[in-house]
Amino acid sequence: MHTEQQQSILLEENKWRSEILDRDVQVDVYLPTHVKHPEKMTLLLINDGQDLPKMPFQKILNELYYYEEVEPILCAGIHCGPQRKMEYGVAAQTDYLGRGAKAADYTSFIFEEVLPFIRKKYHIPHFKEKAFAGFSLGGLMAMDIVWNHPEEFSVAGLFSPSLWWRQKAYEDGYTDEADRIMHNQVKAGSASLWQKFFIQTGSLDEKKDRNNNGIIDSIDDAMDLIAALKAKGFKDQAIKYLQLEDGSHDVPTWAKAFPSFLKWGWGQKH
């Protein structure tokens, strides 16, 4: 039986001045109202939260809840700032153009401002688990935070992620093996095998094919990241790869993919 209450989502826009980022920030919280035990919920943070209304994300969640396809999830869409290419990236290292210089600050903002705010406002000191997702460069940032903080985050959702993020320009002797920053982190790091990774690409994500192998770079980069994860010991069930034919680097494509991510991670068992 489905009631109006069971399918309802409360959307709250939270705004404050971030001391760490030195700018105004907005975090939209999509709160399921039919939860009896909030502490059994998952928290899902989403970079580029300003794109969620374009999906529309609230409708996606309502439909999944109405048909009881996913467990209740508290979703928080974190709007990007005007310096998106500086705040998103890899915290430990900028790219070859110096982009991502504020990624460490953004990471601190998540841990010191966003998580405490959510715990306090919604009276949920502990969640069942925490996940982080993002689109494009926001997906790279989500991966960086999840990979480097396995004690906090167990799931990463990467939608057309910017895995090309590199430490050397192509014309300066770049190679796939040595210069992709996130791949290097995975190869050099230690695996936390309880973590899970959802990676989505689209066949129309881009047109670039730097190694001329007939496969666009975004798909190559995703497949190479999966290979790096498996080399660390992650099994097939810990990694979900979704390639959307005719999928582009845009919000409508990510909207199509998002239900698959939610059902893969938190599907209801009937």
pLDDT 10s digits, 50-87: 999 999 999 999 999 999 999 999 999 999 999 999 99
SS3 192: coil
1 pLDDT higher than 50: no
Q: Write down the domain spans for the chain.
A: 9-266
- Interhelix angle 181-188/137-148, rounded to 10 degrees, is 10
pLDDT-derived band at 3 (thresholds 50, 70, 90) equals very low
Please state, for a pLDDT cut of 70, what percent of the chain lies above it: 97
pTM above threshold 0.85: yes
Q: Report d(CA 261, CA 242) in Å as an integer.
A: 9
The 10 Å CB-count burial string (b at 16+, else e) for 113-151 is: bbbebbeeebebeebbbbbbbbbbbbbbbbbbbbbbbee
Mean of pLDDT values over 211-221? 90
Say yes or no: domain 9-266 is CATH 3.40.50.1820: yes
Tens-place pLDDT, residues 129-176: 999 999 999 999 999 999 999 999 999 999 999 999 999 999 999 999
Contact 127/152 with Cβ under 8 angstroms? Answer: no
Helices (H) and strands (E) in the chain, counts: 9, 8
Question: Which residues are paired to 192 by β-bridges?
Answer: none
